[in-house]
Amino acid sequence: MKKKDIIDLIEKLKKAYPDATCSLDFETPLQLVFAVMLSAQCTDERVNKTTPILFKRCKTLEDFINIDIEELEQIIRPCGFYKNKAKNIKLCANQIKNNFDGKVPQTADELITLAGVGRKSANVVMLEAFGIAQGIAIDTHAKRITTLLGLTQNKEPEKIEQDLLKIIPKEYIKDINHLLMWHGRNCCIARKPNCKECPINIYCEYFN
């Protein structure tokens, strides 16, 4: 796909989803780190119903460090995989305190050293908490849509991200993070894609 086509594709998505933003509710970088962690294998809607209870109970980093793990597990249980997520939250909180002076690190390389934080999560935190669009979060929507568009032939998220970073102009990286997710949720739905109404179907190898 030529550069002008990629720009046209993104502009069409921007027109279709003018309100595309991060779907997770948070007020601080620390809250976002844990919200993203909880969103693994879970809907953002469910996370947003759980985090108000969690953030009311744990208002500070020390609260996350000191909360009894069984109490934490019960709070986050609706988000699934709660035992592993609770363990990562506790470990992550301790790492932030001991390794980063109690502040969420502001580089992707540092973020991925935290328990429960992978490349995708680091990209989300960098963009949403610090306003730095230095990568593309490859979730199931981004993976499916970019494959259908022929923008990548890779299956691994990190390789897909690198493919996209090579062809998407830097000024559009911030937009594409939100747009792919919104398009996947609202139109290019995995089991029942609404191809006829798709604003970018002229570029889709599946549709054409």
Side chain identity, residue 182: W
Phi first, then psi: give them for residue 181, nearest 5 degrees.
-65, -45
Q: How far apart are the first and last CA of the chain?
A: 14
Comparing 107 with 208, which gets the higher pLDDT?
A: 107
Note if 163 is an active site residue.
no
Confidence check: pLDDT of 207 > 90? no
pTM: 0.90
Q: Mean pLDDT, to the nearest integer, of 11-15?
A: 97
Query: Is 196 part of the annotated catalytic residue set?
Result: no
pLDDT tier for residue 54 given thresholds of 50, 70 and 90: very high
Question: What is the Cα–Cα distance from 26 to 48, expressed in whole angstroms?
Answer: 9
The vertex-177 CA angle with 175 and 182, nearest 5°, equals 90
Catalytic residue among 139, 163, 174, 175: 139
Q: Has domain 3-21+135-203 been given CATH number 3.40.367.20?
A: no
Residue ranges of alpha helices (H) inside the chain are 3-16, 29-38, 44-57, 61-66, 69-76, 82-99, 108-111, 119-130, 140-148, 157-167, 173-186
Phi then psi for residue 76, to 5 deg, are -95, 5
CATH, domain 29-130, list 1.10.340.30, 1.10.1040.10, 1.10.10.10, 3.40.50.720? 1.10.340.30
Q: Please tell me which residue in 12, 85, 90, 120 is annotated as part of the active site.
A: 120
